[in-house]
Chain A
Amino acid sequence: MAVEIDDGIDVDEVARRMLSAPLAQAVGFELIAIEAGRVGLRVPWREDLVGDLGREIIAGGVVTALIDQACAMSNISVKKNGGPTLDLRVDYMRGAAPRAGVSCEAHCYHVTRSIAFVRAIAWDADRSDPMATALATFALREPSAA
């Protein structure tokens, strides 16, 4: 299940460009690491990102957005014609700890002519104790439109 990596992709430029998106800036996504096909991102805890006021736990929707962002970046880091998300499935094993930020690692593990397959995990304190796992598929654009 190797992924053929397009020539001439600068992964640092991919990270800069995609993390400059207004939503990424507004929520505060930060790069942990990027290489072709693998992306680590995190979002620090913040009061306005909480899902339930009394419990100070970061909202599930923030985690979904972080996972979507990391998955899209892992696709664009191997394919210049990486396109929109087709579907995203997230399983939440547990919530984050109160006042904890969330980290996510996405791996684009297989690409066909038209589809990229990505999986991701998210955790708060310890990568070996994930709070969510996810699967995503992306449509690749027609080569002429890339």
Chain B
Amino acid sequence: MSLPAERLQAFLERTPYVRFLGMRAELAGDEMTAILPFDPKLIGNRMADALHGGVLGAFMETTALAQLALSGDLPRLPKTIDVTIEYLKVGRALDTYARADLRKVGRRIANVHVEAWQENRSQPVAALRGHFLLPQE
């Protein structure tokens, strides 16, 4: 069985879109914080200087997949079944952080909640709830 840090690194490296977004992740034991450093190309509304809503959604979806990848030895990546994204604040031109909570990991399906924040963790900018289909042996 590989180490969580190795599994996380393997996930980040096999996903080119992670590099496109500029996303990385830090691990403290089994607790992962995903980081999306600000990049001007992530702006969705130049007048408001706001991050693209789809970028926040993609960042949180990828955070959920990364958390699933590091939590167990999966033969392939899980597939997203559905996501519900709640936008709570305008994402500003700042670094964004996210943590995922595996609410239930069944034999075939996982339910994951993710929260993303910028300056203040108690004031999230967005949240995601999703279901993911786990790969079968």
Contacts and interface: CB of A to CB of B under 8 A. Distances in A.
B46 interface: yes
A88 B17 contact: no
Nearest to A61: B58
B25 interface: no
Contacts of B77: 51-52
B77 to A, nearest CB: 5
Nearest to A94: B79
B61 A23 contact: no
A49 B53 contact: no
B54 interface: yes
Contacts, number: 120
B24 interface: no
A61 B13 CA distance: 16
Given A59-B58, A61-B62, A89 B83 contact: yes
A72 B85 CA distance: 14
Given A67-B54, A88-B53, A62 B80 contact: no
B58 A49 contact: no
A74 interface: no
Given A65-B57, A67-B54, A69-B54, A49 B16 contact: yes
Interface in A83-100: 84-92, 95
A33 B62 CA distance: 30
A54 interface: yes
A115 interface: no
A59 to B, nearest CB: 4
Contacts of B45: 21
B115 to A, nearest CB: 14
A24 interface: yes
Interface of A: 20-26, 47-54, 59-62, 64-69, 72, 84-92, 95
